[in-house]
């Protein structure tokens, strides 16, 4: 039996224990949030998700308030809108005006709310946090002056990744997210924290200046590293991969590991083979495809003619696609005429 309530005059129903925010989301009713993430435990930190509930003296955070029978919720009132606007203003008062060069511009929740609330400069000029500490890890860029302390990175690292590499240290104005003793980050570098960060505080180092949203085409594909087969979105600009992301509604739930998220640089490595090579007198010399193909075909044909098809064999790869493996064994069986075909999957 579900619990019945109304949100913005609409009758809705949800399971006992659900929060107002979860219920609203299920019914497609939008409530702005900065610290909530459906994959993580409710946090109640940003106070952007405030709603008015009939009978309650003050607005309440919808992400932490459980629903009750007959509850009447209003998500948009002049009072909560004013409070939300103040929340954003306060965050901006301690945020560098760096959207011009920020990696996340166009894909940043703080920027988006500032836009919707029409906030350019604000009433709360004051002291700004200064972070001088540079983190030397090779994967993650951590710009802590852009951190809004939503705690998502800390929670994802703990709750989802089971690592607990970072925490919110110090209190009040000095509060910041950092590894213990403010050391350099030394963790699994999965980048889960980067993927949940609502601002430009966390980004990938190799993403720097590769492109943001303009001119980016996203291509959904499958990771080529391990057997998990995570679904990746390659963000492509021109002929180059700018970054990698993953959507929460796929079987890997949007999570990736360090290889899938940051391990694509080999694609543009200068070591890539770019032309067929034929060894002559012990040295490789460049060849055209026509030369290479007819040379290989001639040599294969000669071996088959002289020694029979079973003097030939093929080894294929667990890294190639199904179609390539299918064609490879078809080539060995139907064209060469041997069942001498295997792959190295034993390893």
Contacts to ligand FES by CB under 6 A: 33-36, 44-49, 61, 63
Quick one: which of 20, 50, 102, 157 contacts ligand SF4 (CB under 6 A)? 157
State the binding partner of 341 from another protein, ligand FES, ligand SF4, none, CB within 5 to 8 A by kind: another protein
Q: Which residue's C-beta sits nearest to ligand SF4?
A: 260
Question: How near is the Cβ of 16 to another protein at its closest, in Å?
Answer: 18
Question: How near is the Cβ of 142 to another protein at its closest, in Å?
Answer: 14
| Angle 281-289-305 from CA coordinates, rounded to 5° | 70
State the binding partner of 151 from another protein, ligand FES, ligand SF4, none, CB within 5 to 8 A by kind: ligand SF4
Burial 102-131 (b: 16+ CB within 10 A, else e): bbbeebbbbbebbeebebeebeeeeeeeee
Residue 320 CA: distances (Å) to CA of 8, 148, 292, 315: 53, 43, 21, 12
Given the rule CB under 6 A, which of 68-76, 100-108, 210-218, 256-264 is the region that contacts ligand SF4? 256-264
Question: How near is the Cβ of 230 to ligand SF4 at its closest, in Å?
Answer: 3
Distance CA 336, CA 338 (A): 6
Question: Dmax of the chain from CA atoms?
Answer: 94
Q: Is 344 in the site for another protein (CB under 8 A)?
A: yes
Phi, then psi, of 91 in degrees rounded to 5: -65, -40
State the binding partner of 45 from ligand FES, another protein, ligand SF4, none, CB within 5 to 8 A by kind: ligand FES
Given the complex with ligand FES, which of 24 and 102 has the nearer CB atom? 24
Given the complex with another protein, which of 121 and 339 has the nearer CB atom? 339
Distance CA 88, CA 46 (A): 9
In the DSSP assignment, the letter for residue 180 is G
Q: Is 15 in the site for another protein (CB under 8 A)?
A: no
* Dihedral of the alpha carbons of 130, 136, 140, 145, in degrees to the nearest 10: 0
Name the token pair of 147. 């951190």
State the binding partner of 157 from another protein, ligand SF4, ligand FES, none, CB within 5 to 8 A by kind: ligand SF4
Q: Is 48 in the site for ligand SF4 (CB under 6 A)?
A: no
> Tokens 């980048």 — which residue?
191
Q: Is 205 in the site for another protein (CB under 8 A)?
A: yes
Between residue 161 and residue 220, which ones bind ligand SF4 under the rule CB under 6 A?
A: 161, 163, 165-166, 177, 185, 187-193, 196-199, 201-202
CA 153 centroid distance within chain: 12
Q: Is 111 in the site for ligand SF4 (CB under 6 A)?
A: no
Given the complex with ligand FES, which of 152 and 231 has the nearer CB atom? 152
Query: Residues 265-294 vs another protein: string with x where CB under 8 A?
Result: xxxxx-xxxxxxxxx----x----x--xxx
* Dihedral of the alpha carbons of 73, 76, 77, 82, in degrees to the nearest 10: 130
Quick one: which of 77, 105, 188, 245 contacts another protein (CB under 8 A)? 188
State the binding partner of 86 from another protein, ligand SF4, ligand FES, none, CB within 5 to 8 A by kind: none
Quick one: which of 40, 112, 228, 245 contacts another protein (CB under 8 A)? 228
Tell me the chain's radius of gyration from C-alpha atoms.
Answer: 28
Nearest to 97 by CA among 149, 141, 33, 146: 146
* C-beta of residue 130 within 8 angstroms of C-beta of residue 195: no
Name the token pair of 212. 């943001």
Distance CA 144, CA 134 (A): 10
Q: Is 131 in the site for another protein (CB under 8 A)?
A: no
Q: Is 262 in the site for ligand SF4 (CB under 6 A)?
A: no
């Amino acid at each position: 039996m579900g619990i019945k309530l109304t949100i913005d005059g609409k009758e809705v129903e949800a399971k006992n224990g659900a929060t107002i925010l979860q219920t609203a989301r299920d019914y497609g009713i939008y409530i702005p949030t900065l610290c909530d993430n459906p994959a993580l435990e409710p946090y109640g930190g940003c106070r952007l998700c405030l709603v008015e509930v009939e009978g309650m003296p003050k607005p309440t955070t919808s992400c932490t308030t459980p629903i009750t029978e007959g509850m009447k919720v209003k998500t948009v009132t002049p009072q909560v809108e004013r409070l939300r606007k103040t929340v954003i203003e306060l965050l901006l008062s301690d945020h560098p005006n760096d959207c011009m060069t920020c990696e996340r511009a166009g894909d940043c929740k703080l920027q988006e709310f500032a836009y919707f609330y029409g906030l350019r400069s604000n009433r709360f000029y004051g002291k700004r946090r200064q972070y001088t500490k540079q983190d030397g890890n090779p994967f993650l860029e951590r710009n802590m002056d852009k951190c809004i302390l939503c705690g998502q990175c800390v929670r994802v690292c703990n709750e989802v990744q089971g690592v607990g590499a970072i925490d919110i240290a110090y209190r009040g104005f000095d509060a910041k997210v950092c590894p213990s003793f403010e050391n350099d980050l030394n963790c699994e570098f999965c980048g889960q924290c980067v993927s949940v960060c609502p601002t430009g505080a966390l980004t990938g180092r190799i993403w720097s200046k590769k492109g943001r949203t303009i001119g980016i085409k996203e291509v959904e594909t499958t990771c080529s590293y391990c057997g998990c087969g995570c679904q990746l979105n390659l963000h492509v600009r021109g002929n180059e991969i700018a970054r990698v992301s993953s959507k929460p509604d796929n079987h890997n739930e949007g999570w990736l590991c360090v290889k899938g998220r940051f391990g694509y640089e080999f694609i543009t490595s200068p070591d890539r083979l770019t032309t067929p090579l034929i060894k002559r007198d012990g040295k490789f010399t460049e060849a055209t495809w026509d030369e290479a193909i007819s040379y290989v075909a001639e040599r294969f044909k000669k071996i088959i003619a002289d020694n029979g098809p079973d003097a030939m064999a093929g080894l294929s790869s667990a890294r190639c696609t199904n179609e390539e493996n299918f064609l490879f064994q078809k080539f060995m069986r139907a064209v060469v005429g041997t069942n001498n075909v295997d792959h190295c999957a034993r390893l």
